Homo-oligomer: A and B are copies of this chain.
Amino acid sequence: MTIRLEHNSGTPLYQQIVEQVRAMVLNGTLPAGYRLPPERKLADALSVNRTTILNAYRELKAEGLIGSHVGQGTVVLAAQESESTPPATASRPIWSHYLSDYAGQFSQFQMNDLLDFANRTDVISFATGMAAPECGPAEALRGIEERVLTEDGGQYLMHSPVEGFHSLRVEIAGYMSQRGAYCTPGEVFVTSGSQQGIELVAQALLNPGDIVVMEEPTYFPAIQVFKAMGARIMGVPVDEEGMQLSVLELLLQRYRPKLIYTVPTFHNPTGTELSMERRKWLMALSRQYRIPVVEDDAYGELRYDGTALPTLKSMDSAGLVIHLNTFSKMIYPGLRIGWVVADRKLVDTLIAIRQVVDIHTNCLSQKIVERFVASGQLGTHLETVTKAYRHKRDTMLRALRQYAPEGMRWTTPAGGYYIWVTLPPGVACDKLLHRAERHKVAFVPGTLFSTTGQETGRMRLNFTFAAEHQIEPGIRRLCEAIRETVAQEPEGAPLVERNPIV
């Protein structure tokens, strides 16, 4: 079996594999019973990510051309088998007819091609939002895990309370207090990552039609949560001091939003920080209009310049701030430990909802994080990563200054994970993405972070995940791709009259 991949063809790699294998099965080159190579082997042979092969095989299985049998691996199915598949398939339920309105709102897999591409081993990826694999406290965690296993008497194997182990909530309350946000363990609710915090808070507070105010642009999975709940999203533009509160105030006067969602510190995707003056103003507006503020503080501790500003939670005299946080950006995302700090009454509601959602967070991870925080290792680790990330950020900024084409601008974040780039005029993200794919460098198009989904001519670059030595060549390649896109761009788009179809 010979497969040839064309990295610059514009056709996704997995699709190329599907087409070639399909042809070989249909024309008899691969006979029934032929064993396809295991995914990992084929991935290595073709120098692509295993996910690409997985997706290709998945598609071929769905077409009834190949099948996997335990112990036999993946084999080409006989013509009879594949003939027998279509009628069975034809009588299968058409699931789209069964889906709820809620489920229907997800445009599934819109990002799959980007994910396939960004995860390729030959690609330098500035597209993820992941911690650096090499800076992490993997060794320290391993030691802790071993102690949990031997010393905690199997407590991690049975249930924890819905809101999380009390001992972990004590540690988190202590950590919050150190950061100036005094709270009791009873006001802490442990989640499986902060995404679950957003989801649960939305379930607790939002009815369809409710208005949610967010930064424009903002963290896109939060947009998805609120939209899926049937909320109406209103975006407030961000400048170098964060959310423009004069716009927010107009919205509050004119509409009555149910919720304000904000990433005030090292905002995703722009990297900006809400200024102290605006923090006070935001709190005053929240109090005046009695509107809860969801503070997503995932990046708050990852500061590379300047001095810390207080969290909104620590300025929360009215009890209206719902603080969301996570260890995913500070330690590792695989731990899936986040938390909410909120008024005890709201925590009670989160408990009631969580009980039917998934009962509680993984116990072993809770115990690991508890010991990591209690031992004081979180502080030491944060010093290590902020040093490493500052260095990576500076490397990326230096490379941008060196290679950026004319007309390109970018933010200089004082912390967090991201640089927000404004592309030269006329460069659209989707075109650039295709070019960048040929240059084997990945980013996230700004469109994704827009509450309205409009093309913005901006992109998000992550500087934490890629290895230090990849940053300079990655930015060089990316800037070449941008130059090529600029050169390609016509003077002005041809005028198209959009006549309605009647």
Report A's interface with B, CB cutoff 8 A: 39, 50-51, 54, 58, 61-62, 67-68, 70, 88, 91-93, 95-96, 98-103, 106-109, 130-131, 133, 136, 138, 141-142, 145-146, 149-150, 154-161, 166, 173-174, 177-178, 184-186, 191-193, 195-196, 199, 203-207, 210, 221, 224-225, 228, 258, 290, 292, 317-320, 332-336, 343-346, 348-349, 351-353, 355-365
**In the bound complex, do residue B109 and residue A133 qualify as a contact, i.e. CB atoms below 8 Å apart?**
no
Question: In chain B, what residue has the closest Cβ to A186?
Answer: B58
Q: Given contacts A99-B349, A138-B157, is CB(A336)–CB(B358) below 8 Å? A: yes
6 inter-chain pairs at a CB distance below 8 angstroms, sorted by A residue, are: A93-B318, A102-B203, A106-B353, A142-B150, A192-B358, A195-B356
Residues of B within 8 A of A228 (CB): 353, 356
Q: Given contacts A150-B142, A186-B58, A203-B103, is CB(A358)–CB(B95) below 8 Å? A: no
Question: In chain B, what residue has the closest Cβ to A103?
Answer: B204
**In the bound complex, do residue B157 and residue A332 qualify as a contact, i.e. CB atoms below 8 Å apart?**
yes
A61 touches which of B100, B184, B346, B357 (Cβ 8 Å): B184
Residues of B within 8 A of A102 (CB): 203-204, 207, 353
Q: Given contacts A318-B93, A352-B106, is CB(A154)–CB(B177) below 8 Å? A: no
Residues of B within 8 A of A346 (CB): 95
**In the bound complex, do residue B142 and residue A100 qualify as a contact, i.e. CB atoms below 8 Å apart?**
no
Residues of B within 8 A of A173 (CB): 68, 70
Apart from A93-B319, A108-B352, A228-B353, what are 19 other A-B pairs with CB-CB below 8 Å?
A58-B186, A62-B344, A68-B173, A68-B185, A70-B178, A88-B319, A93-B290, A98-B258, A103-B352, A107-B352, A109-B348, A131-B158, A146-B146, A157-B333, A195-B356, A195-B358, A195-B359, A221-B355, A336-B361
For the complex, what is the distance from the CA of A99 to the CA of B345, rounded to whole Å? 11
A320 touches which of B93, B106, B204, B360 (Cβ 8 Å): B93
Residues of B within 8 A of A159 (CB): 130, 333-334
**In the bound complex, do residue A142 and residue B149 qualify as a contact, i.e. CB atoms below 8 Å apart?**
yes
Residues of B within 8 A of A50 (CB): 166
For the complex, what is the distance from the CA of A363 to the CA of B362, rounded to whole Å? 10
For the complex, what is the distance from the CA of A353 to the CA of B229, rounded to whole Å? 12
Residues of B within 8 A of A61 (CB): 184, 186
**In the bound complex, do residue B352 and residue A92 qualify as a contact, i.e. CB atoms below 8 Å apart?**
no
For the complex, what is the distance from the CA of A332 to the CA of B160, rounded to whole Å? 12
For the complex, what is the distance from the CA of A335 to the CA of B358, rounded to whole Å? 12
**In the bound complex, do residue A92 and residue B334 qualify as a contact, i.e. CB atoms below 8 Å apart?**
no
Question: In chain B, what residue has the closest Cβ to A92?
Answer: B319
Question: In chain B, what residue has the closest Cβ to A320?
Answer: B93
**In the bound complex, do residue A51 and residue B161 qualify as a contact, i.e. CB atoms below 8 Å apart?**
yes
Residues of B within 8 A of A357 (CB): 195-196, 199
For the complex, what is the distance from the CA of A95 to the CA of B187, rounded to whole Å? 14
Residues of B within 8 A of A203 (CB): 100, 102-103
Q: Given contacts A103-B204, A159-B130, A192-B192, is CB(A356)–CB(B92) below 8 Å? A: no
For the complex, what is the distance from the CA of A107 to the CA of B356, rounded to whole Å? 12
Q: Looking at the assembled complex, report how far the CB atom of A61 sits from the nearest CB atom of chain B, in whole angstroms.
A: 6
For the complex, what is the distance from the CA of A64 to the CA of B313, rounded to whole Å? 20
**In the bound complex, do residue B349 and residue A106 qualify as a contact, i.e. CB atoms below 8 Å apart?**
yes
For the complex, what is the distance from the CA of A186 to the CA of B199, rounded to whole Å? 26
**In the bound complex, do residue B130 and residue A334 qualify as a contact, i.e. CB atoms below 8 Å apart?**
no
**In the bound complex, do residue A54 and residue B166 qualify as a contact, i.e. CB atoms below 8 Å apart?**
yes
Residues of B within 8 A of A99 (CB): 204-205, 349
**In the bound complex, do residue B358 and residue A100 qualify as a contact, i.e. CB atoms below 8 Å apart?**
no
Q: What are the 8 tightest A-B residue pairs by CB atom distance, in nearest-first order?
A: A106-B352, A334-B363, A157-B332, A196-B358, A362-B362, A95-B345, A108-B352, A92-B319
**In the bound complex, do residue B158 and residue A130 qualify as a contact, i.e. CB atoms below 8 Å apart?**
yes
Residues of B within 8 A of A333 (CB): 157-159
Question: In chain B, what residue has the closest Cβ to A344?
Answer: B62
**In the bound complex, do residue A138 and residue B154 qualify as a contact, i.e. CB atoms below 8 Å apart?**
yes
